[in-house]
Amino acid sequence: MSLIHVLSDETINRIAAGEVVERPANVVKELVENAIDSGADAITVEIKDGGISMIRVTDNGSGISREDIPKAFLRHATSKIEDSTDLLAIRSLGFRGEALSSIAAVCQVELMTKSKDSVIGTRYVIEGSKEIETKDVGVPSGTTIIVKNIFFNTPARRKFLKSPITEGGYIADLLEHLALANPDISFKFISGSDVKFHTSGNGDKKELIYRLFGKDAASNLVKLETEKDGLKLEGYLGKPELNRSTRNYENYFVNGRYVKNDVISSAVEEGYREYLMQHRFPFFVLYIEMDPKDVDVNVHPAKMEVRFKDNVYMSDYISSAVASKLKVTEMIPETVLVKEEEPKPSVSTVEPFEEKRISKDISAGSLDIRRILGESVPGKEPYPEAPEVTHEHNVIKASDAIIVNTSVQMELFDDKLLSRDAVAEYEIVGQIFETYWLFTYKDKLIMMDQHAAHEKVKYESLLAQMKNKDVVKQMISPAIVITLSPTELSVLNDYKQNFTDIGFEIEEFGGSDISLRAIPMDLYGQSPKELFLNILDELGNGRISGVPEAINDKLASMACKSAVKGNTPMSAPEIKELLAKLLTLDNPYNCPHGRPTMITMSKSELEKRFKRIV
Ligand code: ADP
Ligand code: MG
């Protein structure tokens, strides 16, 4: 008796589906990528119960002709490549031809589509790989796919789905990224009966950020644009105040694809290092364009990983671009206690089966995000209140709100608070809580954290000394003998030059003992042995890494951290001197660990607080 069976197509499809469809978000990803590949410039996604009971994706793209429909649902059927030589030149998002067959194997699917040159469209129904119906239907050009009851025929897999809220969250996150990756496509996302977001597709990236993340994010951005040897960075860096507790708001795209990559994340975080506290992450949207030869995007199509030819180059390029951009932007947090009324943006609407229709007044070019955000635009009034336009909600997860509090940052390029001239006019009010100094300047109250300012000045002076190869040392007499483990010894060996560069003098005896003869000057307030071992630990566990200069930088910031004691009384002349030193620095506004050195409050804020003005 024969024991070997040839599996039916249905079974094969169901097995294969396991690799493509694990949860509703996978279905949405495949359908939306197909819509993008079809040339659509408006895509509407609607889900019910987190996509578990229903997903509908409508696009205004090429549509599918009647005779191609059954083929589209066959495994390994694709219009995007013909043979393996095409693989090298893939521009489309999909090409494996597995998505529709996999989705149809485990869901109930209804397709309505019409290609531009057909007069009549087609409705096609397929459930669990079984064709149910094909018939004429009058629809506009484009495609709508409705996917119902995921895993209706594989209940065991349905059990692995999470709650509708969680599944819906995955979809929202995915669509945010697809919308950011495609600024020229209008995306509308509806969950249940709520429009979660609606992007205009007019290509304006700042406006896109506004639509997806709201006004607070959009009004606290620094534009980054730089190019070198065909490597192009473009996008928006959130000001440090937009910091988050997770990496979820680090958005980056390589050649138009949303990816995940440690090299990029770490490099941008490194650029922000001076501005953010530990365990806080920046908000940014960064588009990287590079020669496809220097990047492999197909490491794993579903996992969105990329690999670069030269990680070190990428990392240095990105982190220095970010750091230097942040440095030229003045960022003193200003305490604002009263929230402004949010302006109502106008939004274009694309319903299922509608060609992209954007009415005259809100057509692509004329919607100016600067005016929405209340920024002044020469010769233009802010947008008038327009009751007839709809205001739609942006997806903002309240639990993870963008802004820590209601403070905003001011840009005072014309009126720098820390110019030499300005500081000469500062009036010292006094010190409070043995830590903060109060000054007034014009109509601002300025509060300076003595500890953070001190730390910053020390750090910058150590950096300057290192740069000039003239580090002032403090000799330790008698030298401190320390016994190291074999691992610690090898770490010391690897980073010996860095220790020397920042002002350590270390003598080795060939065994496991070393002696510490000098440490960087000025680092009083901590035990030399503790400082040395802390640095060794950080280097050993890889938390400090990079090119030698970057390592020196980080070591200097570590060394300065505990070098200044808080609550040290300082006299007014001393504080003036500290301020004078501070204002010679490139970035006086944050201590090396990201805490602000000063914050301000305006007179009008105080007056609002006291209800003198409303
Ligand atoms: P792939 O995208 O890898 O080619 P799919 O299974 O996702 O494979 O889709 C199969 C084919 O169906 C595509 O190659 C394309 O020709 C067609 N197709 C799918 N979705 C759409 C759509 N929204 N608009 C136009 N054509 C589509
Ligand atoms: Mg596809």
Domain CATH code at residue 290:
3.30.230.10
Does 602 map to a domain? yes
Task: Specify the ligand 1 atom closest to the Cα of 57.
Answer: 23
Is residue 270 located within the same domain as residue 139?
A: no
Is residue 485 located within the same domain as residue 547?
A: yes
Does 345 map to a domain? no
Indicate which ligand has the atom closest to the C-alpha of 40. Answer: 1
Q: What is the pLDDT of residues 328-384, one digit of tens each?
A: 776 666 565 444 444 444 444 445 443 333 333 333 334 566 666 666 666 665 444
**What's the 231 CA to ligand 2 centre distance in angstroms?**
29
Strand partners, 323: none
Best mutation site among 26, 34, 95 for ligand 1 pocket (most ligand atoms within 8 Å of CB) = 34
Give yes or no for residue 516 having a pLDDT over 70.
yes
Give yes or no for residue 385 having a pLDDT over 90.
no
Best mutation site among 44, 55, 59, 78 for ligand 1 pocket (most ligand atoms within 8 Å of CB) = 78
Q: What is the pLDDT of residues 40-71, one digit of tens each?
A: 999 999 999 999 999 999 999 999 999 999 99
Give yes or no for residue 400 having a pLDDT over 80.
no
Rounded distance, CA 558 to CA 593, Å? 9
Q: What is the pLDDT of residues 287-326, one digit of tens each?
A: 999 998 898 876 665 667 888 999 999 999 999 999 999 9
pLDDT of residue 562: 58
pLDDT of residue 347: 43
Mean pLDDT of the chain: 80
Rounded distance, CA 83 to CA 322, Å? 42
**What's the 69 CA to ligand 1 centre distance in angstroms?**
9
pLDDT of residue 204: 93
**What's the 98 CA to ligand 2 centre distance in angstroms?**
7
pLDDT of residue 287: 97
**What's the 38 CA to ligand 2 centre distance in angstroms?**
10
Of 310, 335, 360, at which residue does a domain stop? Answer: 335
**What's the 135 CA to ligand 2 centre distance in angstroms?**
23
Domain CATH code at residue 596:
3.30.1540.20
**What's the 583 CA to ligand 2 centre distance in angstroms?**
56
Is residue 436 located within the same domain as residue 315?
A: no
Task: Specify the ligand 1 atom closest to the Cα of 143.
Answer: 23
Range in 28-37, 120-129, 604-613 with the lowest mean pLDDT: 604-613
Rounded distance, CA 453 to CA 534, Å? 23
**What's the 31 CA to ligand 2 centre distance in angstroms?**
7
Task: Specify the ligand 1 atom closest to the Cα of 59.
Answer: 23
Is residue 134 located within the same domain as residue 248?
A: no
Best mutation site among 20, 33, 37 for ligand 1 pocket (most ligand atoms within 8 Å of CB) = 37
What is the residue whose two structure tokens read 């149910």?
132
Indicate which ligand has the atom closest to the C-alpha of 147. Answer: 1
Nearest residue (by CA) to ligand 1, atom 18, is: 34
**How far is the CA of 45 from the CAs of 354, 428, 565, in angstroms?**
13, 58, 56
Nearest residue (by CA) to ligand 1, atom 12, is: 72
3 state DSSP class of 287: strand
Closest CA to 569 of 436, 424, 426: 436
Rounded distance, CA 347 to CA 362, Å? 7
Q: What is the pLDDT of residues 271-287, one digit of tens each?
A: 998 888 888 899 999 99
Is residue 119 located within the same domain as residue 42?
A: yes
Contact criterion met (CB below 8 Å) for 446 and 600: yes
Q: What is the pLDDT of residues 4-47, one digit of tens each?
A: 877 777 777 777 777 789 999 999 999 999 999 999 999 999 99
**How far is the CA of 279 from the CAs of 188, 387, 408, in angstroms?**
33, 43, 21
Indicate which ligand has the atom closest to the C-alpha of 95. Answer: 1
Nearest residue (by CA) to ligand 1, atom 20, is: 34
Can you give the pTM of this predicted structure?
0.66
Indicate which ligand has the atom closest to the C-alpha of 81. Answer: 1
- How many domains is the chain partitioned into structurally? 4
Task: Specify the ligand 1 atom closest to the Cα of 103.
Answer: 6
**What's the 101 CA to ligand 2 centre distance in angstroms?**
10
Residue scoring higher pLDDT (562 or 62): 62
Report the 3 state secondary structure along 173-207: HHHHHHHHHCCCCEEEEEECCEEEEECCCCCCHHH
- Mean pLDDT of the 166-175 span: 93
Does 589 map to a domain? yes
Does 141 map to a domain? yes
Residue type at 174 in one-letter notation: L
Rounded distance, CA 614 to CA 609, Å? 9
**What's the 82 CA to ligand 1 centre distance in angstroms?**
14
Nearest residue (by CA) to ligand 1, atom 1, is: 97
Is residue 230 located within the same domain as residue 95?
A: no
Contact criterion met (CB below 8 Å) for 543 and 555: no
Indicate which ligand has the atom closest to the C-alpha of 76. Answer: 1
pLDDT of residue 459: 85
Indicate which ligand has the atom closest to the C-alpha of 105. Answer: 1
Does 228 map to a domain? yes
Is residue 135 located within the same domain as residue 104?
A: yes
**What's the 467 CA to ligand 1 centre distance in angstroms?**
57
**What's the 103 CA to ligand 1 centre distance in angstroms?**
12
Which one of 318-327, 396-405, 563-572 scores highest in mean pLDDT?
318-327
Q: What is the pLDDT of residues 453-508, one digit of tens each?
A: 888 888 888 888 888 888 888 888 888 888 888 888 888 988 899 999 988 999 98
Range in 27-36, 119-128, 413-422, 567-576 with the lowest mean pLDDT: 413-422
Rounded distance, CA 603 to CA 481, Å? 57
**What's the 19 CA to ligand 2 centre distance in angstroms?**
14
Give yes or no for residue 175 having a pLDDT over 80.
yes
Report the 3 state secondary structure along 564-585: CCCCCCCCHHHHHHHHHHHCCC
Q: Which residues contact 315 (CB under 8 A, 6 or more apart)?
A: 263, 266, 267, 270, 546
Of 137, 171, 196, at which residue does a domain stop? Answer: 196
Give yes or no for residue 88 having a pLDDT over 80.
no
Contact criterion met (CB below 8 Å) for 513 and 471: no
Closest CA to 121 of 60, 71, 170: 60
pLDDT of residue 365: 39
Is residue 54 located within the same domain as residue 174?
A: yes
Task: Judge residue 67's burial from the number of C-beta atoms within 10 Å of its C-beta, 0-12 exposed, 13-18 middle, 19 or more buried.
Answer: exposed
pLDDT of residue 521: 74
Of 144, 168, 196, at which residue does a domain stop? Answer: 196
Nearest residue (by CA) to ligand 1, atom 15, is: 79
Nearest residue (by CA) to ligand 1, atom 14, is: 78
Does 427 map to a domain? yes
Rounded distance, CA 61 to CA 37, Å? 8
Is residue 31 located within the same domain as residue 93?
A: yes
Best mutation site among 43, 79, 129, 141 for ligand 1 pocket (most ligand atoms within 8 Å of CB) = 79
Rounded distance, CA 63 to CA 471, Å? 69
Q: What is the pLDDT of residues 523-542, one digit of tens each?
A: 656 678 888 888 888 888 77
Does 27 map to a domain? yes
pLDDT of residue 399: 31
Residues with CB under 6 A from ligand 1: 30, 34-35, 38, 59, 61-64, 72, 77-80, 94-100, 143
- Mean pLDDT of the 206-217 span: 88
What is the residue whose two structure tokens read 């949860």?
23
Indicate which ligand has the atom closest to the C-alpha of 57. Answer: 1
Task: Specify the ligand 1 atom closest to the Cα of 142.
Answer: 24
**What's the 472 CA to ligand 1 centre distance in angstroms?**
67
Element spanning 423, H or E: helix 420-424
Is residue 15 located within the same domain as residue 152?
A: yes
Q: How many CB atoms lie within 10 A of CB 598?
A: 22
Best mutation site among 33, 100, 147 for ligand 1 pocket (most ligand atoms within 8 Å of CB) = 100
Give yes or no for residue 406 having a pLDDT over 60.
no
Indicate which ligand has the atom closest to the C-alpha of 99. Answer: 1
Is residue 266 located within the same domain as residue 120?
A: no
Give yes or no for residue 93 having a pLDDT over 80.
no
pLDDT of residue 417: 66
Does 23 map to a domain? yes
**What's the 308 CA to ligand 1 centre distance in angstroms?**
29
Domain CATH code at residue 554:
3.30.1370.100
Contact criterion met (CB below 8 Å) for 291 and 608: no
State the residue range of the domain holding 594.
Answer: 415-453+566-609
Is residue 136 located within the same domain as residue 219?
A: no
Residue scoring higher pLDDT (115 or 93): 115
